[in-house]
Amino acid sequence: MVSVHTSPLAQPGTGDAGGMNVYVLNTARELARSGVEVEIFTRATSSEEPPTAEAAPGVLVHHLPAGPFEGLSKNDLPTQLCAFTGGLLRAEAHNRPGHYDLIHAHYWLSGQAAWVASERWGVPLVQTFHTLAKVKNARLADGDSPEPIGRVVGEEQITTEADLLIANTAAEADELREFYNADTRRVEVIHPGVDLGVFRPGDRRTARESLGLPADALIVAFVGRIQPAKAPDVLLRGLARLRVQHPALAERIVPVFVGGPSNTDLYWLPRLAADLGLGDRVQWRTPRSGEALAQVYRAADAVAVPSYNESFGLVALEAQATGTPVIAAKVGGLPTAVADGRSGLLVDSHSADDWATALGRLMGEPDLRERLAAGARTHAALFSWQATAEGLGNAYRRALLMRSQAITLKR
């Protein structure tokens, strides 16, 4: 696997680390459990990182030097793709010929490097984009910068050259066809999963005590990177509007934001909260994962995912697995991750009025929350990393067969 811009060992929720990190690490673990040896190549971002680390039995993470360890944003990384690709090719050269059977690249930067390696090694290239530039540019948040033309061209090239494209949902498969003219025969839909052992229901009062949150409040949580694309401001504006519409209900709600800044001003969101008169109500928490993150979900009455674009929405799935209903924007893969009216509510816009209405309904109706909470765990149980890995294994076998047949035809 290739994951240039962020290591699967990084803490999700800040910088460039997010759902893709969770996806890469969990699918690698499950593939290894099924007998597939997995090596993940990522760019080194610290001199203290070991050249190679074992992430799990059968899963190695290689940190390749490519440019300075610090000070490079994701948008600077195309300048380091030559250095990274060179390191990737040198790493393979130390092994016997045919050491790698297949390359699975994550995000467009990885696809560019993996494309070269795939051609050099004569192995199939499987690509998962996770997000798409043309889709993001079509649904930009206010104040967000459009994705550069270099990324658009890079994605177009990989779409044409990859042996197989993995889409997280049918909606993403449609976007690949609509925006990139992808060949339908080379697109596989495989849903991401959730660790149902870690993200499981638990005692809400205990969870709130562990986080220092009020036991008698109505708590709505936002989990993820604090950036315009994730739309945390939409949640704040909806709560501010709810204060006007239903002041008594709004007074009981405590919003909790769990995450860190991602290429944005550290104080952007706290300033907005203060301007909206919510500064004294908002609780801020640092990024976390595993059981600590599960406690956040258990502590909440609802989890909000107001993003402008999500290829899937792992936060929504994790929250539902703990039995917490989700209120989410009706975009991208979220209509798959959230069963509208059964495990949560989908909002068909990002307007403050619509979010205030949805928040007022969910937070103001205990019977609705209880019904959705019951459906949340049931819906989340339909997804697992084991099933994702099984789907990937089948896709890999298909890619290998396609490559073999193509070679036979050339002969």
**String of DSSP letters for 70-133:** SS--GGGGGGGHHHHHHHHHHHHHTSPTT--S-EEEESHHHHHHHHHHHHHHT--EEEE-SS-H
Question: With contact defined as beta carbons under 8 Å apart, do 125 and 160 qualify?
Answer: no
Beta bridge partners of 41: 2, 62
- Per the annotation, binding residues for UDP-N-acetyl-alpha-D-glucosamine are 11-12, 19, 225, 230, 288, 310, 318
Question: With contact defined as beta carbons under 8 Å apart, do 32 and 38 qualify?
Answer: yes
Name the class of domain 204-381. alpha beta
- Give pLDDT, residue 74: 77
Token reading at 329: 């924007």
Length of the chain: 411
The fraction of the chain above a pLDDT of 70, given in percent, is 97
Q: How far apart are CA 132 and CA 311, in angstroms?
A: 8
In what helix (H) or strand (E) does residue 64 lie, and over which residues does it extend? strand 59-64
Token reading at 241: 């509007």
In the chain, count of helices (H) and strands (E)?
A: 16, 13
Nearest to 311 by CA among 155, 158, 173: 173
| Lowest mean pLDDT across 4-18, 131-145, 260-274 | 4-18
Question: With contact defined as beta carbons under 8 Å apart, do 40 and 61 qualify?
Answer: yes
Q: How far apart are CA 393 and CA 388, in angstroms?
A: 9
Question: With contact defined as beta carbons under 8 Å apart, do 23 and 6 qualify?
Answer: no
- Cα dihedral 364/369/371/377 (nearest 10): 170
- What DSSP character marks residue 195? -
Entry pTM: 0.92
User: What are the tens digits of pLDDT across the range 114-155?
Assistant: 999 999 999 999 999 999 999 999 988 877 889 999 999 999
Nearest to 321 by CA among 202, 169, 167: 202
User: Is it the case that residue 305 has pLDDT exceeding 80?
Assistant: yes
Strands 164-167 and 38-43: unpaired
- Per the annotation, binding residues for Mg(2+) are 297-298, 300, 324
**Averaged confidence pLDDT in the chain:** 94
- Give pLDDT, residue 411: 62
Averaged pLDDT for residues 333-356: 97
- What DSSP character marks residue 11? P
Nearest to 399 by CA among 117, 166, 176: 166
- Cα dihedral 284/287/292/293 (nearest 10): 90
Token reading at 200: 């499981």
**Residues sharing a CB contact under 8 Å with residue 79, sequence separation 6 or more, in sequence order:** 67
- Per the annotation, binding residues for 1D-myo-inositol 3-phosphate are 5, 16-21, 74, 107, 131, 151
Return left, alpha or beta for 398; rule: phi > 0 is left, psi -120 to 50 is alpha, else beta. Answer: alpha
User: What are the tens digits of pLDDT across the range 382-403?
Assistant: 999 999 999 999 999 999 999 8
- Per the annotation, binding residues are 5, 11-12, 16-21, 74, 107, 131, 151, 225, 230, 288, 297-298, 300, 310, 318, 324
- Give pLDDT, residue 17: 66
- Give pLDDT, residue 236: 98
Averaged pLDDT for residues 287-299: 95
Helices within 181-246 (DSSP H only):
204-211, 232-245
- Give pLDDT, residue 387: 96
**Residues sharing a CB contact under 8 Å with residue 240, sequence separation 6 or more, in sequence order:** 276, 277, 278, 352
Sorting pLDDT into bands at 50, 70 and 90, what band is 10? confident
- Give pLDDT, residue 14: 66
Question: With contact defined as beta carbons under 8 Å apart, do 215 and 208 qualify?
Answer: yes
Please tell me the CATH code under which domain 2-193+385-410 is placed: 3.40.50.2000
Domain residue spans of the chain: 2-193+385-410, 204-381
User: Is it the case that residue 15 has pLDDT exceeding 70?
Assistant: no
| Lowest mean pLDDT across 9-18, 66-75, 137-146, 208-217 | 9-18
User: What are the tens digits of pLDDT across the range 51-99?
Assistant: 999 999 999 999 999 988 877 777 888 999 999 999 999 999 999 989 9
- Topology agreement, domain 2-193+385-410 and domain 204-381: yes
Sorting pLDDT into bands at 50, 70 and 90, what band is 350? very high
Averaged pLDDT for residues 256-276: 87
Q: How far apart are CA 103 and CA 126, in angstroms?
A: 6
- Give pLDDT, residue 19: 83
CA distances from 253 to 208, 215, 303, 322 (A): 14, 12, 12, 20
In what helix (H) or strand (E) does residue 223 lie, and over which residues does it extend? strand 218-223
Question: With contact defined as beta carbons under 8 Å apart, do 335 and 155 qualify?
Answer: no
